[in-house]
Amino acid sequence: MDLDALYQEIILDHYRNPHHAGLREPYGAEVHHVNPTCGDEVTLRVRLDGSAGTQRVVDVSYDAEGCSISQASASVMADLVIGKDLDEALATHAAFLELMQGKGQVEPDEDVLEDGIAFAGVAKFPARVKCALLSWMAFKDAAAQSQGEPV
Amino acid sequence: MTLTHALPGLLPGLDLIRADFPILTRVMDGGYPLVYLDSANTSQKPQVVIDAMVDHLERHNANIARAMHQLGAEATEAFEGARDRVAEFLNAPSRDEVIFTKNASEALNLVARTFPLGPGDRVVITEMEHHSNIVPWQLATERSGAELRWFGLTDEGELDLSNIDELLSPGTKVVALTWVSNMLGTINPVAEITRRAHEIGAVVVLDASQAAPQLPVDVQAVGADFVVFTGHKVVGPTGIGVLWGRSEQLDALPPFLGGGEMIATVTMAKSTWAPIPHKFEAGTPPIVEAVGLGVALEYLGHIGLENIHAHEQAITGYLLEGLAGVGGVRVLGPLDAAKRGGAVAFEVAGVHPHDVAQLLDSRGIAVRAGHHCAKPAHQRFGVQSTTRASSYLYTTPAEIDALIDGLEYTKSYFKVGGA
Q: pLDDT, tens digit, for every residue of A16-58? A: 999 999 999 999 999 999 988 777 899 999 999 987 778 999 9
What DSSP line would sit under B167-219, residue for residue?
HSSTTEEEEEEESB-TTT-BBP-HHHHHHHHHHTT-EEEEE-TTTTTTS---H
Name which of B354, B362, B378 is nearest A67 (Cβ-Cβ).
B354
Q: How far is A60 from chain B (nearest CA, A)?
A: 24
Whether chain A has a CB inside 8 Å of the CB on B358: the answer is: yes
Q: How far is B265 from chain A (nearest CA, A)?
A: 44
* Backbone region of residue A91 per phi and psi (left: phi > 0; alpha: psi in -120 to 50; beta: other values): alpha
Helix (H, G, I), strand (E, B) or coil at B21: coil
Can you give the pLDDT at residue A151? 42
Least confident of A105-109, B13-17, B30-34: A105-109
**Closest CA in chain B for residue A126:** B358
Q: Confidence band (pLDDT; 50, 70, 90) for B133?
A: very high
Chains A and B form CB pairs within 8 A to the count of 46
| % of chain A at pLDDT higher than 70 | 97
Backbone angles phi, psi at B263, to 5 degrees: -110, 155
What value does the mean pLDDT take over residues B371-394?
94
Q: How far is A1 from chain B (nearest CA, A)?
A: 6
Whether chain A has a CB inside 8 Å of the CB on B131: the answer is: no
* Residue B249: alpha-carbon gap to chain centroid: 22
Q: Confidence band (pLDDT; 50, 70, 90) for A2?
A: confident
Sign of the CA dihedral with A10 first, then A15, A16, and A20 last: positive
Q: Using alpha carbons, list the distances in angstroms from residue A90 to A63, A78, A82, B110, B284.
A: 21, 12, 11, 47, 50
Whether chain A has a CB inside 8 Å of the CB on B383: the answer is: no
Q: What is the mean pLDDT of chain B?
A: 95
Report the distance separating Cα B45 and Cα B186, nearest Å.
25
Q: How far is B226 from chain A (nearest CA, A)?
A: 29
Report the distance separating Cα B246 and Cα B196, nearest Å.
18
Is A3 close to B359, i.e. CB distance below 8 A?
A: yes
Report the distance separating Cα B209 and Cα B243, nearest Å.
11
Residue B301 has pLDDT above 90, yes or no: yes
Name which of A6, A38, A65 is nearest B369 (Cβ-Cβ).
A38
DSSP conformation class of B29: G
Can you give the pLDDT at residue A148? 64
Report the distance separating Cα B416 and Cα B160, nearest Å.
35
Q: Confidence band (pLDDT; 50, 70, 90) for A105?
A: confident
Can you give the pLDDT at residue A147? 83
Q: How far is B73 from chain A (nearest CA, A)?
A: 43
Chain A positions touching B413 (Cβ under 8 A) are 3, 7
Name which of A1, A39, A69 is nearest B384 (Cβ-Cβ).
A39
At B172, which amino acid appears? T
Chain B positions touching A65 (Cβ under 8 A) are 384
Can you give the pLDDT at residue A98? 95
Q: State the best of A1, A7, A8, A134 to mutate against chain B, taking most chain B CBs within 10 Å.
A: A1
* Rg (alpha carbons) of chain A, rounded to whole number: 14
CB B246 within 8 Å of CB B224: no
- List the catalytic residue out of B373, B375, B409, B414: B373
What value does the mean pLDDT take over residues B231-249?
98
Whether chain A has a CB inside 8 Å of the CB on B31: the answer is: no
Determine whether B195 is an active site residue: no
Q: Confidence band (pLDDT; 50, 70, 90) for B415?
A: confident
* Rg (alpha carbons) of chain B, rounded to whole number: 22
Q: How far is B184 from chain A (nearest CA, A)?
A: 17
Chain B positions touching A128 (Cβ under 8 A) are 354, 358
Q: What is the ipTM of this complex?
A: 0.84
Is A66 close to B359, i.e. CB distance below 8 A?
A: no
Of residues B384 and B24, the one with the higher pLDDT is B24
DSSP conformation class of B145: T
Q: Is B70 exposed, middle or buried (0-12, 13-18, 19+ CB in 10 A)?
A: exposed
Chain B positions touching A68 (Cβ under 8 A) are 352, 354-355, 414
What value does the mean pLDDT take over residues A95-105?
92
Report the distance separating Cα A11 and Cα B180, nearest Å.
39
Name which of B352, B358, B414 is nearest A6 (Cβ-Cβ).
B358
Q: Using alpha carbons, list the distances in angstroms from residue B185 to A10, B38, B101, B161, B197.
A: 38, 13, 25, 17, 23
Is A3 close to B362, i.e. CB distance below 8 A?
A: yes
Q: Is B385 exposed, middle or buried (0-12, 13-18, 19+ CB in 10 A)?
A: buried
Helix (H, G, I), strand (E, B) or coil at B88: helix
Q: Confidence band (pLDDT; 50, 70, 90) for A1?
A: low
Short-list A46, A59, A61, A42, CA closest to A147: A46
Chain B positions touching A125 (Cβ under 8 A) are 358
Residue B1 has pLDDT above 50, yes or no: no
Q: Confidence band (pLDDT; 50, 70, 90) for B6?
A: confident
Edge to edge, the sheet with strand B203-207 lists B98-101, B241-245, B226-230, B203-207, B172-178, B122-126, B147-151
Report the distance separating Cα B288 and Cα B1, nearest Å.
38
Report pLDDT digits (tens) over B319-345.
Answer: 999 999 999 999 999 999 999 999 999
Residue A150 has pLDDT above 50, yes or no: no
Q: Confidence band (pLDDT; 50, 70, 90) for A4?
A: confident
Name which of B352, B361, B413 is nearest A67 (Cβ-Cβ).
B352
Can you give the pLDDT at residue A127? 85
Is B353 close to A7, i.e. CB distance below 8 A?
A: no
Helix (H, G, I), strand (E, B) or coil at B28: strand
Whether chain A has a CB inside 8 Å of the CB on B114: the answer is: no
Could you tell me which residues come within 8 angstroms of residue B309 by beta carbon, excluding any fewer than 6 positions away? B214, B215, B216
Is A39 close to B361, i.e. CB distance below 8 A?
A: no
